Homo-oligomer: A and B are copies of this chain.
Amino acid sequence: MAVLACDLGGTRIKLGVVEAGRVLARRILDAESAHGLGPRLSAVEAALRELCDEAGVARVAGVAGAGMAGVAGVGISIPGIIDPHAGRVLAINAKYDDATQLDLGAWARQCFNLPLAMDNDARMALIGEWRHGAGRGCDNIAMITLGTGIGVAAVVEGRVLRGAHGQATILGGHLTVDYAGRRCTCGNIGCAEAEASTDVLAALAQTRDDLATSALAGETILDYRAVFDWAKRGDTCAAALRDHSLNVWAALAVNLVHAFDPERIVVGGGIAASDDLLPAMQRYVDQYAWTPRHRVELVRGRLGDDAALVACEWLVEKNHRGTETQSSG
């Protein structure tokens, strides 16, 4: 059975029809997330209907209660804290700020007569990699997604941890790595995300006296691609920013080892594409994590943008089964 998959990113909405771990058809919409999610839902609905046609998935449009033959449900990945039981967004940080008011389950029923399954984007990225990507075969795995902010999630003993309020593991980017550090947008002090992420990179650079004489000062967009590139070419300021950030991310990885005891940590997001990142983080984890009889392997995510889409299928099926315990395959 296919699944209609929606990955609601801050700048782009990625849509797909997914079956057996494969994205049969896909579409990208501008998110316009500053205006909220509600105004985008009709465009999402229309695009999903077109994708069903493209993918050759049968649909029964406009017949109330008829459902869609061959489609099991709608899955949504969203950058917020989710109540998985109620299918509601409990909290969301800045983007799609109307999402807490929306009944997306009702939307999925009204539009498609299909059940909805929804979860946090960092968790969905992990689920995708776990079932179909870099995490296959592991029942204990954590993921760090280095994007604008830092997303974290973990599977422990074959279970996707959610905790008492749906928050377990996904606030991992807000693990304190410097209790006397920088104030984070979440309100906490010294979160990994506040110490090193694209969101704070400009502010970090401003703290350096050598920024004015650095090649980075000439960059139109100050991002980690520029930082890694100029660091490699010997720019002192860029090298300092790179090394600081690698330390923060690697200290976060050590925290995930100490908290969740994974066999493997998947590192995803745009920044993970840099060749320098994984070897440096791996050296740090090898040196500093307390793993007396084993080694935790850091690997790059394999699925990129598809991770959350293929996770939608797993989530819809899991909700259908009413249990999430699965041996890894």
Contact = CB atoms under 8 A, between A and B. Distances in A.
A9 B195 CA distance: 38
A156 B163 CA distance: 6
A172 B293 contact: no
A180 B179 contact: no
B293 A188 contact: no
A263 B166 CA distance: 11
Given A258-B172, A288-B188, A251 B179 contact: yes
Interface string A147-186: 0000000001101011111111101101111111000001
Given A156-B156, A175-B175, A188-B289, 4 more contacts: A163-B261, A164-B261, A169-B261, A176-B177
B294 A255 contact: no
Contact of A178 (B139, B156, B180): B180
A291 B179 CA distance: 18
A318 to B, nearest CB: 14
A184 to B, nearest CB: 9
22 contacts: A140-B163, A156-B163, A157-B161, A157-B163, A159-B159, A161-B261, A164-B263, A164-B294, A165-B261, A167-B290, A167-B291, A171-B257, A176-B254, A180-B247, A187-B287, A187-B288, A188-B258, A188-B288, A188-B289, A190-B251, A255-B259, A259-B259
* In the A-B complex, the 9 residue pairs with the closest CB atoms: A163-B261, A140-B164, A168-B261, A171-B258, A91-B292, A179-B251, A167-B261, A188-B288, A259-B259
Given A178-B177, A293-B91, A262 B171 contact: no
Contacts of A140: 163-164, 168
B258 A165 contact: no
Nearest to A92: B292
A189 interface: yes
A179 B255 CA distance: 10
User: Among A159, A186, A288, A293, which residue has the most Cβ atoms of chain B within 10 A?
Assistant: A288
B176 A261 contact: no
* Main SS at interface, chain A: loop
Interface size class of A (residues with CB under 8 A): 35 or more
Contacts of A167: 257-258, 261, 290-291
A81 interface: yes
Contacts of A111: none
Contacts of A169: 259-261
B174 A258 contact: yes
Contacts of A165: 261, 291, 293-294
Given A156-B161, A163-B140, A168 B260 contact: yes
Nearest to A256: B259
Contact of A90 (B260, B288, B292): B292
User: Among A156, A167, A179, which residue has the most Cβ atoms of chain B within 10 A?
Assistant: A179
A48 interface: no
B164 A255 contact: no
